[in-house]
Amino acid sequence: MVIKKVTEKEKNIRANIRAKNESVIKVEDVYKIYKLDGIEVRALDGVSFDVKKGEYISIMGPSGSGKTTLLDALSTMMNPTSGNIFIEGKNTTAMSPSELAAFRGNKIGFIFQTFNLLPKLSALENVMVPMWINNYPRNLRKKTATEVLEKVGLGDRLHNRPNQMSGGQRQRVAIARALALNPNIIVADEPTGNLDSKSGKNVMELLRKLNEEGKTIVLVTHDLNLGETTDRQIYIKDGKIVSKREDAFGNRFK
């Protein structure tokens, strides 16, 4: 997969801008500990980091490293065993499940590896799902959904069902759904994992475009090439953040 890499100069310019921005996501000493057959498993073992407004970062690590758990925690899908997670200044670990659901629905857009579209609904109806869940004004739903689908290049596929579309198109419907309520944060879990390289490249370009428009994006991947197209990488291994990619992945990719 050939994806345009951001030059060092561009990265520096962005980094300088961001340094002045406030944190959109603040992960503070987060632990997630499971008991599995009586054995303690530390999926997250004291993780702390910040994501600034408008940043495009990737969380990378081999399978079993805890990156998915970290994504679940920072996207408020899962409560950590201890530690705090602040999204746009609000401590999500202190919220009730209902508050959390509403908060998540409006603040975070999700993109999944397996798209998670509803198979019997058209592209338009799929994009409208978060709208009825989050009580978006009824009379604006169709218009807004059409707009976001046009934005991802599917203006001519509004009434197609997922099984009438290619994988790349499906993922773009999913991206349109993530944008439906115009959240500031997008989390993408292996968004190209089920796509061929050309569709994958399209999706990555779309994410870059969204970032340039001001969205904060957190990408989770085990694919180094993909992860390193983002502005900043967080490497994770055995539930801990490590500073270098070699610490996470070994020397395989040297």
Helices (H), the chain: 8-20, 67-74, 97-107, 123-133, 138-151, 167-179, 197-212, 224-227, 245-249
Q: Does 98 bind another protein (CB under 8 A)?
A: yes
Which residue in 119, 126, 125 sits closest to 164, CA to CA? 119
Q: Does 83 bind another protein (CB under 8 A)?
A: no
Site for another protein in 118-157 (CB under 8 A): 118, 120-121, 129-130, 132-135, 138
Instruction: List the structure tokens of 243.
Output: 């500073």
Beta carbon nearer to another protein, 89 or 97: 97
Choose which of 82, 106, 184, 194 interacts with another protein (CB under 8 A). Answer: 106
- Residue 125's identity, in one-letter code, is E
Beta carbon of residue 138, minimum distance to another protein (angstroms, whole number): 8
Cα–Cα distance measured from residue 80 to residue 70, given in angstroms and rounded to the nearest whole number? 9
Count residues binding another protein (CB under 8 A): 25
Beta carbon nearer to another protein, 132 or 253: 132
**What SS3 class is residue 242?**
strand
Q: Does 38 bind another protein (CB under 8 A)?
A: no
Beta carbon of residue 167, minimum distance to another protein (angstroms, whole number): 17
Choose which of 49, 56, 86, 110 interacts with another protein (CB under 8 A). Answer: 110
Q: Does 239 bind another protein (CB under 8 A)?
A: no
